[in-house]
Structure 1
Amino acid sequence: MPPQVKPPHCSFNSIEVVDRPWFPYLCTEVEHWEWRTSGDGHYNFWMALSGEGYLRCETQTFRIFPGAFFIFSPQQKISAAHYSGARITRFSAHFHPIQNGQRITHIKDFPLLGGEVHSLSLAQRQIDVIMRIALRRDDDAVLAQKLHEFIAQCTGQTGIIAEGALNERISEALRIFREAPASVESITQVAQQLGVSRSHFDREFTQQIGQAPKQFLINCKMIEARRYLESSHLRVGEIAEALGYKDIYFFSRQFKQLVGKSPMQYRKELQ
């Protein structure tokens, strides 16, 4: 007789899947992807499979990286953004937890923020199975069972909750860079605003984000530049000025270095 395998820990014994047609795989359609919600009436299991960025949930900010996962509770306000490199691919499953046949509205260990799976390749194989089941419209019960097992396995791993939250200083720097990149006159100015030396800020930011603040700021400016080119009639010089550049040629050179084509070429290819 084969040995009994202990089932993963989970404080509910099944789930009810929400918005079935939408959840299997959600890949970002653009490199400058952002996601924002004001809160749903259900739980949401969210895992990054590729790409990097950051996610803010109420007062905390977390890194997004392959294998990072979150379980959001109903009505939480969430925002997330991609900042460089490969586009973010995510798996997302919306659900109601069920205990003994009844929906439960409060789970002791949720929300669960900043988790990390031990094996991303194993998680991807399990998600592939779930996706195949999701495409078969008559397998709702099997789909719910497999999703519940997957969520239970992720949450049942020991030591999954890393020191994932970014500290408040770096979180505020991300907000400044992302929301108002044109307002940043220098990295030194931001460091002083946050109450630390430039060298300390550079070291802390790079350690937590994996990218130097100067490069991160340039990426944010180029994301804004692409948005202007895609959705406005501003001339390239006007876009450069709007982003705080005094030299249009320097702006165009940075744009080409990051995007691979000049601003004019980028706009022309959109037409």
Structure 2
Amino acid sequence: MYNPAFESIQIASIYGKIACERTWRWNRGSIPFEDFDLWYIWNGEGEIVLNGNKQRLGRHQCFLFRPGDRVDAWHHPERPLTVTYIHFSIDSITDEFPGLLSNHEFRTPFYFEAYLERFVHVMTMKELNHHDEARLLLRLILLAFERECVSALSSLTRSNHPHYAVMTEIAALIRENPANVNSVAELAERAYLSPRYFSLKFKEVMGQTVERYIIEKRIERAELLLSTHGMSVGEVADALGYQNIYYFSKQFKKVRGISPSKI
């Protein structure tokens, strides 16, 4: 859902990635935050008291401190924290981020961490249009955080599936190279699963059978080649691994509702 707060973000000059000193502490229990502060833990362990509630600090946790929040925090000297922090404000005090929890532990932080690293790099190097890129990156960071928070509140979300990562990786492989997907057995071998179990889990994650997914991605590619590359129906069928142009045309019409020669 669209949130106008994303449009009114103002980035401050307080940002960075830092390995906290052994004696580091955060003593803000009596000083409420005036703006927003996003705080992500890469490594280390510690404890935090947020608005009177004490909890542990650990790897892959992300906090969004809001105006009025009061924080005390410390870490274990033998396991010091490494954190990225981004301070920002929003123009209107009525704007909020209702979809964002105060804190959340990421299950799949890869892209989120890439956004954080890029944000710090862009703001540090100050290259052409760096501030515009930084604002877009911060929006991506907050959107990724929101998605993780929503997922945490729903036990039915696909991203919580134990095979989510491997199935989405294989789905990406099919999308990138639909012509060379030879068999379900080969895909199952990549996932270290039996073909039957792989097919079952792929459908649970992707919402359709792997066979159907392969066909759809081949037809999508065929439509693009026909409409924008000037290739003939026979050339496209051959490029996508169809041995029979009649079978390709029949499958294309079944999926798209029209003959490929009409594209």
What TM-score do you get using the length of structure 1 for normalisation?
0.45
- Ranked by relative contact order (alpha carbons within 8 Å, sequence separation 6 or more), the top structure is 1
Largest Rg, 1 or 2: 2
Higher helix fraction (1 or 2): 2
